[in-house]
Chain A
Amino acid sequence: MQSFTTLTSTFIPVPFNDVDTDQIIPAEYLKVTSKDGLVEGLFQRWRYRPDGTPDPAFPLNQPEYQGAQILLAGDNFGCGSSREHAPWALQGWGFKAIISTSFADIFRNNALKNGLLPVAVDAETHEQLLEMSTESPQLQLTIDLATQMVTLPGGRTTTFPIDHFSKTCLLEGLDQLGYLLKQAERIAEYEQAMGK
């Protein structure tokens, strides 16, 4: 897994609430056997019009937002299906972090396991960021994982929560499976003791 320390970038607003993983990547793109090429399906229903041409109204299609590595999403982002294709597709686009007011449980887990950082901020900060992103798409913000701090354009800072374990794994780029594999003996003891 790629490590995450700090990130300074512009941010793209996709501010709808309750964006489900079917919107992040529709099921027709789930027939793959690898993690590659999923970016084609990212927000497919919103990126393209029914005739297949890009919808210029959708922020991901707008030139001023190209190159942004942070997605500014709405509340309860990533609800619905457990498909890990959602974070894979977002990473395929180049996103390294997602800022929202809250995330659905499974999406949050999946994102953290892939080095895609979910950053939950308070509603006021979120609203401020939204305004900034629509009015001045060139503005940048900084996310620092070690201090769990977001520095907004203009210098105001706010903190975000993350569990200690995920944070360590992200900072050091460690795959969580490594930790589990180290427990092999304890797992065998448990199986023995519980008759499993």
Chain B
Amino acid sequence: MNQVKTLFEKIWDTHVVVDEPGSPSVLYIDLHLVHEVTSPQAFTGLRAKGLKVRRPDRTVATMDHSTPTKSLSIDLSDMMAANQLRQLETNCAEFGIPLYGMDSPERGIVHVMGPELGLTQPGMTIVCGDSHTSTHGAFGSLAFGIGTSEVEHVLATQCLLQTRPRTFNVHYTGQLRTGVTAKDMILALIARIGIGGGTGHVFEYTGEAVRSLSMEARMTLCNMSIEGGGRAGMIAPDDTTFEFVAGRPFAPKGAAWDKTVAHWRTLPTDEGATYDREITIDVAVLEPMITYGTNPGMGVAISQPIPDPAQEADTTRRSSLEKALGYMDLRPGQPLLGHKVDVVFLGSCTNSRITDLRQAADLLRGRKIADNVRMLVVPGSEQVRRQAEAEGLDRIFREAGAEWRFAGCSMCIAMNGDELQPGQYAVSTSNRNFEGRQGKGGRTFLASPLTAVASAVNGTITDPRSFL
């Protein structure tokens, strides 16, 4: 008799290599993505132990975190970043790993590039030394972030020791209203469950609201699973998924394609399968969301006032909120709408794909960004950059007064010199508003590309629906 299973269970069960009592499962990894920041010590470990990379053919490297965005030359990076980037080149050459380096026309943020090349496919297990690996779950894969020790484990054995996480069904009903996006869906979830809400769990995003999202929007949704504490986030593959993957460089071709798609069609969660936890969110009532605090769970609908710590019964939560508002220099009860903005960042593995840039450019067309605002537009990959330029989107951004850059993580993590100055306020389409994340002393409001553009134009936090 066939047991009913969730999408997660189907993938997990077919990737367990060894399951010994008293030990975690040995889980096989189909695809290992590598970048410059979390890999050097892993390669050093291999060398020290005299080990090889077991499956260089299942390993792909790129440079994204600390790369310059004003040029494509490593020489323009600071000495330490340049050294780390060169180290990646050396490591990849020595261990036979394909590297999409600075000279590659396909280089990009690892979570933008993988799907673009068709490396990311349904049913796979995918890891990377980066917590936003959850992004790839949008294709119906089990994808999660790992630390550097684990990077070494996967390089050496193509496997990881893992305890089976629990499952969490995040069910989105209804249809989004105009001006509300996948970014708002995920910010709403995190505001609801908190940043530790999904700890120990893998989210599966289900429901009609998810089905009608494009692949890019699904990636935005899965990207921020980690911000809700989830180990991973996944969406069952469907025709939207297959259409996106078809024809990409690493996608199966010809007869193999048909056979593979037939298998992919068996992956979605079976009727009657159950999850450890469930939550339902009606997206029809969602407004654009924005964060006010110093973690992604501190978010509200854009029309709402800044919460008052005095209303918080729990003492530790109250002090966290006070600390956050202190850092952000915001007053309880005040509206967020109309608050001054210094910088707008459109980019990051959350919102830097071609559809994000198109949406943003559409809203910006014929408008100018406010004089007091610096806006940075950083495409997620070199392919996205060229596509945007072919469509003339770069012109719209430039003519509106924004800076148009080469691909990279840029101001999402502020490792390459693209950063906020102390005290500055940014509306950012990235995923983390932690203290100093975008530059020492910088203050971040996380929001969708639409909200970012509307706020850039007015120079203050603005509901994008007022522009539509």
Contacts and interface: CB of A to CB of B under 8 A. Distances in A.
B150 interface: yes
A4 to B, nearest CB: 16
B153 A22 contact: no
Contacts of A55: none
A164 B435 CA distance: 36
Contacts of A35: 41
Interface stretch (B194-202, B340-348, B371-379, B399-407): B194-202
A123 B13 CA distance: 36
Interface in B399-452: 413-415, 422, 432, 434-437, 440-441
Contact of B147 (A28, A76, A82, A184): A82
B295 interface: yes
Nearest to B423: A50
Contacts of B145: 82, 106
B320 A82 contact: no
Interface string A110-133: 100110000000000000000000
A16 B323 contact: yes
Interface string A9-20: 000000111101
Contacts of B316: 15, 17, 74-75
Nearest to B51: A181
A20 B153 contact: no
Interface size class of B (residues with CB under 8 A): 35 or more
Interface string A32-52: 111100000000010000100
A20 B295 CA distance: 9
A156 interface: no
Given A17-B320, A18-B320, A31-B415, A105 B157 contact: no
B337 interface: no
B317 interface: yes
A84 B157 contact: no
Nearest to B36: A31
B195 A181 contact: no
B434 A22 contact: yes
Contacts of B58: 196
Contacts of A84: 38, 41, 129, 147-149
A58 interface: no
Given A20-B434, A32-B80, A114 B149 contact: yes
A57 interface: no
A163 B414 contact: no
B102 interface: no
B153 A23 contact: no
Contacts of B466: none
A26 interface: yes
A76 B199 CA distance: 9
B75 to A, nearest CB: 15
A32 B157 CA distance: 25
Contact of B38 (A28, A83, A181): A83
A180 B131 contact: no
A165 B432 contact: no
B432 A33 contact: no
A102 interface: yes
Contact of B229 (A26, A76, A83): A76
A27 B413 contact: yes
Interface size class of A (residues with CB under 8 A): 35 or more
A81 interface: yes
Contact of B200 (A20, A105, A183): A105
A21 to B, nearest CB: 9
A20 B319 CA distance: 16
Contact of B196 (A18, A163, A177, A186): A18
Interface in A70-113: 74-76, 79-84, 102, 104-106, 109-110, 113
Contact of A79 (B26, B196, B319): B196
Given A76-B195, A164-B22, A183-B26, A105 B231 contact: yes
B153 A180 contact: yes
A53 B175 CA distance: 53
A30 B37 contact: yes
Given A176-B161, A177-B156, A80 B149 contact: no
A187 interface: yes
A26 B436 contact: yes
Given A22-B436, A33-B44, A84-B148, A181 B84 contact: no
A113 B159 contact: no
A64 B436 CA distance: 28
A31 B159 contact: no
A17 B415 CA distance: 26
B146 interface: yes
Nearest to A109: B147
19 contacts: A17-B316, A17-B317, A27-B415, A30-B66, A30-B415, A82-B130, A83-B38, A84-B38, A105-B229, A110-B149, A165-B24, A177-B45, A177-B157, A180-B26, A180-B156, A181-B51, A183-B18, A190-B28, A196-B28
Given A31-B37, A45-B440, A84-B147, 15 more contacts: A17-B317, A23-B434, A27-B65, A33-B41, A33-B87, A50-B422, A50-B441, A81-B130, A83-B37, A105-B231, A106-B145, A110-B150, A163-B24, A184-B157, A196-B30
Interface of B: 14, 17-18, 22-24, 26, 28, 30, 37-38, 40-41, 44-45, 49, 51, 54, 58, 65-66, 78, 80-81, 83-84, 87, 129-131, 145-150, 152-153, 156-161, 163, 165, 195-196, 199-200, 226, 229, 231, 295, 297, 316-317, 319-320, 323, 413-415, 422, 432, 434-437, 440-441
